[in-house]
Every structure is written in structure tokens, then in C-alpha cells.
A and B are shown apart, each in its own frame.
Chain A
């Protein structure tokens, strides 16, 4: 690490005692670079074994990395905590301006401990940490308003991040998210509920500083190479033009688009909710995260007539991506685009993870259809596929929790099914609701084996689609090996906090070149070891908190509905998981074997 690099500074904030201090932790960053690598180590230090995720002892760690503020697309903040949704490792990444703001404020990581006795928000302006009263903001109906108020009240416009929770977080919905810069999220695994339990409504971070570089010429050369690669890449162009919603049609075409709670893999309304149609008819603006030229964030301009007053319209700007379109479109059987957008907006207003929310609604709709529950449980709501006005009301009730049923829904499908039945079609993996891919065995193995139970952990959906397009046959061993390799490499990117969309640009060579400029000389082997080590630490934490891969539930539904690669076999999935466990534990002696090779390129969907 270069002299004077503030990365080594960890800001500790104790909400219980309203104190903050800085500790120099160069050791952590030298060994683990930043992001996921440092966050898991801070979580090990801070999180007591077996802690209730909604108790004050559950810490929140936010970490950035050495390339932030120096190179483009190093734009993510990694959050770690114990998840109230899965009761295990919580890890979520967000972009927006969060990473640059934390780095420019002069920190490599922030650790939030304890709980405030009254609602507060934090304003971190460089070295200054202010605890501000948030009692007036608590309970506010819309997360948008909270963002607007803080924008007016706090300084640092253009140089800050405003992370905030909605009412879902205040009320402990276990899949409540944290919203940053209105359109980006720490979406999954319930960080919003953890902040809510701490009575921490928002965290505003701002700063403006210089960062040292080793060799100025080498810096400009490395920068230009990365910038050029990002702006010239056809894949990045696609992310810019259509955004991730470009995936809807190709997934539908191969039968991999989860529809009506995965009762089908094709959706008759796919065309209406495709990235192409949404861009043509609704795209109103594109946004970028700080220091990312790609600008993959797509906002729809939705003009909604007032229900009573003639000639009165409200125009909303709504962020959309493949996952929200899947979760609030095909998964709930809806292709009324205006309704879909309004449902997404309601999730946003409440501060809910849109993916889990969609899967919860889909499960509840099927449970009602099958008679496991009645309108007595739903409090009179006749949930029906694609009926958006009813879904919007259901979303509000998930937050207000007027009865036992909505209290159960507020804890996700795994829990709801444990109370009301319907586990066979409760689409959660390790307790986390499924993402928008039913492409074959590899995507589900990613959901099962990934440390976050996220499609982004090891991108099995990409493996499935490559196999499909090349006509290759997947083997349990082959899939397990490929996923483990991918997940290990992604720990390196997540430690640098490079956006996974830029993984084709940040090849191992490029990573080494950029790191050298930042004063971190690392060999390819060292990087590979770091990836394997970080993943091992995450898995050690999971096991410490009671995770056992062999006990994972495989929802029957994924075996019943043929995937894009045909029907899935439970034996295949179990064998692959066995192999994954064996390779992961035995592989630590020589974790980097084969790891210096190129990681997989691109998304697989786009040629």
C-alpha cells in the first residue's frame, strides 16, 4: 500500500454509545486488498457466534478497495453482516456513488456496531462523524421522500452517497433492502432490516481528496487501457443500450425464464416486458455509478393518470433491470407493463428487495390457488396471476403485517412454507429467493452452493447457456469444478470491488497492472490464493453459523418444470454438491491450480 493511502483507515461507529473512532488496519488491506476479502475478516472479528441478526451485537461492515477512485468500474461497496433472512452470512454489493464516497471520505471500511436507543442517521463528512436525529424521518411512507429530505439537508452534492432504508427495514421485513442514490441497492439478504433494528435510518458519506499513485505514467497508461476496453466492448455497449433486461427474450426463447412461480420456463408476455420493448416505449434516462462509463442503469418514465382528477398525470422515473422484470413480471405472470412498473415502485417506496418480494407474491398466489391458504389468511386479497393492484396492496401488507400470514410472508417463502405448507413450490435456496434464471443444473447449483445464494456468486446461468449453445453435456463434477473456480476468482474482483459486469475487462493481467499502480504488487498466484482464501473464510463463517450444504433443501418445482437444458435430476445436483464440498475442503493445499487461466468472459447471453 502506498504511503498516505487512506485505505488503511477503518471507521468504527458505535451507535449504542454514539461514539466513533478510526483504527489503522493496514494489515487487513495488505493481506486481503479490500471489499469482500477485508469485510469477511472484519465480520469474523465483530460478529459473535450465534448472534440474533436483529440484535445490536450484529455488526454491519462496509468495505471498498484500492482501485476505487483510481480506476473505472471499481464502483461497488461490499456490505457484510449476519442476515436476518437466512440466519447466516449476509453479503450484499451496491454501486451508485457509495464506493467512491467512502474512499473519498478517507476510509477503506466502516464498521457499525450496536444500536441506537432512538432513530438516528449518520452523516460522515470526511473526518467528521455526526449522529443526527431521525425521529421525524422514521415511519415516513416513501423511501423517495427520505432521500429527498437528506439531499436537501446534507452537504456534498455530487460527492456523496445517501444510503437509506424504507419502512420495510424499520419493521424488520427480513428481505428489506438499503437504497443508495435512489436507483441502486444493497438488495439482498436483509441489510435494511439490520439497519432498522439499529434504528439507523440512513448513512450519508461524503468527501473529496487525492489518492497517491506509484508511477504517474504507468497510471495513465493502465487507466487508458481499462477505459478503452470498457467503452469499446460490445458487451458493455449492450449493458448501456438495453441494460440487463436484454436477457428477457433470449431466456424465454430457450425456456429459462421463470414464469408463474416457475410453473413454466416460457412466458407468453415476454415480448411485452422485454428489454427491447421497455427501451422503445419507456426508457427515459440512463445513469451510471460514480466512475463507470458504462451507464447500465435504466430508468423508465412512467406517466400515470390520476384515478379521479381529469388531465392530471404523475410521471415517475423507475429503475428496471432483468431481475426486477422477472420478479415482478414473468414470475407473477404479469405483462401489463404499467402495472409491473407500479409494483416495482411500491417495493421501492417500502424499501423491499424486489426479487424476494416477487417470489413471495408468486408463492402466495400459488398457495391460494391450491387452497393451502384462503382469503382469510390473505385478509381478503384474492391474489391472482398478473393482478397488479392486488399485488400492490399485498406488498403494503407485507410491510404493515396486519396478521400472522403477512408476518410469515415478511420472513420469506422458506419460512411461510414451513407454516402453511407448499415447500415444494417455495423457491428459495439456502433461504434466499431464486433469481430469474431456470437455464439448467448449473444455475441452481450456483443458488445452492454460492456463499450468498445469489446468481452472481458463480454465474451458473452462463455455464448452462454455453453448454446449451455448444451442445455440450454437463457433468456434476465439471459443473462443480467450474463454479468453484469462478466463485474463487469473483472473490478477487469483489475484494477490489470491481463490478462483475466488468469482469471481461478486469482480466488477471489487468488486475495486476492496476494493483501495481495502487502500490499492491501481487502475483497471479497470490491473487488466486486470495480468492480461494476469501471464499474459504466465508464458508467457515457459514459453517460456524450452522450451514450444512448436505442439508440444503432443493425445491421440487425446479425438478418438475423442465429447464432450458431439459428436466433436472436431483441426483445430479446432489452429486455436484458433494463434489463441491470435497473440492473446496481438499483444494486448500493447492487452491490456485488452474486459477491463473482466464476467468469466464461475459454474460454468456450476448455474443
Chain B
């Protein structure tokens, strides 16, 4: 079944951003331009952190607003980007309530989690985990 990356214990997040660097490194790159996961403070570090990543919606609003069907809903939840169809309108970014569609300024196209799970083992504090979407179907998250 389809898997997704889950933020399972955000209270343990220390803000090290190892997941973000891992996401970029998956493509063999250094830096952060390729990261499809974001960690930022919840209004100052004293309040802890927010981890932003695609939650693989069953009926993804980002795909619904794509004028060229470049974002294709994935069986089980989430989306897949067909970059050659994308015209870079940015509707998807606006449509995602979590801000989980990132933007590749160079290509002028969206960047979104591909549910590969490469980042999860680099979280030293078990904030992230790959989960079967089915198991999660009735859970409010």
C-alpha cells in the first residue's frame, strides 16, 4: 500500500534540520534548495518547532487546482509531479493549507515530498516515520 511520511512526535523535534539536509542529499546535493520538508520554529524557538511536509491527502487540494494536471493524485493518497506538464503557476502552493508544496526558484516549479522516506532515519529523535496510509485512514492528523 501507499506510504507517507508522518510527523509522529513533533514535541521531540530539536530543530536540527537533519531531515531537510537529508532530503536534498537524496539527490546528491548539498544545501537546502531541494528540500521538500521544512522545519521552522513555532513562533520563536522557545515554543518548539513545526515540521512541514506533504501529508499525502486522499483528495489532494493541490492537484485539484492544477490547471495542467501536472500534479497527479497518487493511488492511496498524495501526489506525483509530472514536471514537463507544469507551467509554474503556483496555484498548488496557495492551495496547500500546510505550506507543504515548496518551490524550486531555479526551475520555477513546485517541489513536493515523494514519500521515499530517505529523511526519516536521519531524525535522531524519532520525530519522523514512514507509515502505511491505510492504517491512518480514520486517524485525525
- The answer to whether the Cβ of B46 comes within 8 Å of any Cβ in the partner chain is yes
- The answer to whether the Cβ of B90 comes within 8 Å of any Cβ in the partner chain is no
List A contacts of B48 (CB < 8 A): 285
Query: Does B46 lie within 8 Å of A210, measured CB to CB?
Result: no
A467 → B minimal CB distance (Å)? 34
- The answer to whether the Cβ of A317 comes within 8 Å of any Cβ in the partner chain is yes
List A contacts of B30 (CB < 8 A): 69-70, 210-213, 219
B57 → A minimal CB distance (Å)? 22
Contact of A213 among B14, B28, B32, B44 (CB under 8 A): B28
B25 → A minimal CB distance (Å)? 7
List A contacts of B43 (CB < 8 A): 151
- The answer to whether the Cβ of B67 comes within 8 Å of any Cβ in the partner chain is no
Contact of B45 among A72, A208, A287 (CB under 8 A): A287
- The answer to whether the Cβ of A370 comes within 8 Å of any Cβ in the partner chain is no
Query: Does B15 lie within 8 Å of A291, measured CB to CB?
Result: no
**Chain A 203-217 near chain B by CB (<8 Å), digits 1 or 0:** 000001111110010
* A213–B27 CA distance with the chains assembled, in angstroms: 11
- The answer to whether the Cβ of A104 comes within 8 Å of any Cβ in the partner chain is yes
Q: What class of interface size applies to chain A in its complex with B?
A: 35 or more
* A223–B29 CA distance with the chains assembled, in angstroms: 12
Interface-located stretch among B1-9, B16-24, B73-81, B131-139: B16-24
Query: Does B33 lie within 8 Å of A147, measured CB to CB?
Result: no
List A contacts of B33 (CB < 8 A): 208-210
Counting chain A CB atoms within 10 Å of each CB, the highest count among B16, B21, B33, B39 belongs to B16
B17 and chain A: residue at smallest CB distance:
A290
Query: Does A216 lie within 8 Å of B28, measured CB to CB?
Result: yes
* A104–B25 CA distance with the chains assembled, in angstroms: 15
Interface-located stretch among A292-300, A405-413, A569-577: A292-300
List B contacts of A289 (CB < 8 A): 16
- If A69-B31, A104-B32, A291-B18 are given as contacts, then 9 extra A-B residue pairs at C-beta distance below 8 Å, sorted by A number, are A103-B31, A208-B33, A216-B28, A227-B18, A227-B122, A287-B45, A289-B16, A292-B16, A295-B125
Residues on A lying within 8 angstroms of B by beta carbon are 69-70, 72, 100, 103-104, 147-148, 151, 157-159, 181-183, 208-213, 216, 219-220, 223, 227, 231, 285-295, 297, 299, 317
A-B contact pairs, 11 of them (CB 8 A): A70-B31, A158-B40, A158-B41, A211-B31, A212-B29, A213-B29, A227-B122, A285-B48, A290-B17, A291-B18, A294-B16
